[in-house]
Structure 1
Amino acid sequence: MSNTLKLIISIAIPLLVGGISGFFTDTGVGSWYQTINKPSWNPPGWIFGPVWTTLYVMMGIAMYLVWKKEASAILKKTALSLFAIQLVLNFFWSFIFFNQQQIGWALVEIIAMWVFILLTIFAFANVSKTAAWLLVPYISWVSFATILTYTIWQLNK
């Protein structure tokens, strides 16, 4: 498989996951989310689309760098497996929070996602330092989202 095709696939996977999870976000934002208590520092709704799109592209490039790198098969398999797990967790946060409206469970889930992003960063660093660094904005945003989720949970208990 050519590197160009690997790059396209690598970027398409997180964008596809994000697009599908965005469906759950859109259905919840339009009704339920507008009615719950949120902190004064809650970002405006328009910011989430551009931020997540940028992060998904960066995640895809990071995945590509690991996939194409000549490295130990076990290191690559571990790194890409952890990446897949955190991506699945990324998908389910929107579903749990917006579709199921379970803020407490969404908090538990986003903490697990954060842990798997961190593990992915360490695993990527064993294969490609650049790939690991490309995930730093992602874990930073998810750290903010975790604090936001916790705060929303506290405000709506």
Structure 2
Amino acid sequence: MRAGTLARTAAAVVATAVTGSAATDPRDPWYLALDKPAWQPPPVAFPVVWTALYADVALASAAAIDGLEQAGRADEARAYRRALAANLVLNAGWSWLFFRARRPWLAAAECAVLAVNSADLVRRTARVNQGAAAALTPYAAWCGFATALTAAIAVKNPGA
């Protein structure tokens, strides 16, 4: 994998993490007052999991983009970059919808779109690099889990 491609995907992922983190406040009284499902992971799990997943996204995406470009599939590489950009916007957007806008149902719907987009990234990656697709699969799975968790919070807090 080329260093320049990895640097670009890593920069995009870091920008996503910073943008999402700017909206996230797990100590906010509104959030603390929400009724959450018993199966919600402990707060410490989220930064640990997201750090590993963001690293996977940067590495797997760089491998996929490089593989597509080296195979002479420039149109697919451009389409992959667009899909990745949409994914990262959706990823950061969840925090703004949930924590800042305080709209759990809207955040759950947006997260469902993120989960589908993440599965599509795995599919796109698998077309060029099976190992990178396998590395990206936990990200898609976590986005599915996040959708279920957000929806469960929305159900338990109809007035939120």
TM-score (norm 2): 0.90
- Within-5 A mapping of 1:4-153: 4-26=3-25, 29-69=27-67, 70-71=70-71, 72-153=73-154
Give the Å deviation of 1:46.
1.2
Percent same amino acid at aligned positions?
Answer: 30
CA distance in 2, matches of 1:76, 1:9: 14
- Distance (whole Å) between structure 2 residues aligned to residue 108 and residue 52 of structure 1: 20
CA distance in structure 1 between the aligned counterparts of 2:27 and 2:144, rounded to whole angstroms: 21
Asked if the contact 1:114/1:139 (under 8 Å) is kept, the reply is yes
Say if 1:59 and 1:135, in contact at 8 Å, map to a contact too: yes
Q: Give the Å deviation of 1:29.
A: 3.9
For structure 1, the 5+ residue unaligned runs are none
Task: Please identify, of 12-21 and 44-53, the stretch whose mean Cα deviation from structure 2 is larger.
Answer: 12-21
Query: Once the two structures are superposed, what CA deviation does each residue of 1:25-65 show, in whole Å capped at 9, x if it has no partner?
Result: 12x54321101110112111111111101100110001110
Distance in 1 separating the partners of 2:135 and 2:49:
14
Give the Cα–Cα distance (whole angstroms) in 2 for the partners of residues 42 and 82 of structure 1: 29
CA distance in 1, matches of 2:93, 2:85: 13
Compute the displacement of 1:5 (Å).
3.0
Cα separation, 1, equivalents of 2:47 and 2:113: 23
Take 2:61 and 2:121, find their aligned partners in 1: how far apart are those partners? Answer: 10
CA RMSD of aligned residues (A): 1.6
Q: List gaps (5 residues or longer) in structure 2.
A: none
1:92 to partner: Cα distance: 0.4
Cα distance between partner residues in 2 of 1:84 and 1:125: 18
Deviations 1:49-91 (A, max 9, x none): 1110110011000111022221211221222211111111111
Give the count of matched residue pairs.
155
Give the letter for the 1:17 counterpart. T
Residue range with higher mean Cα deviation, 111-120 or 95-104: 111-120
- In the TM superposition, structure 1's runs of 4+ consecutive aligned residues that sit over 3 Å from their partners are none
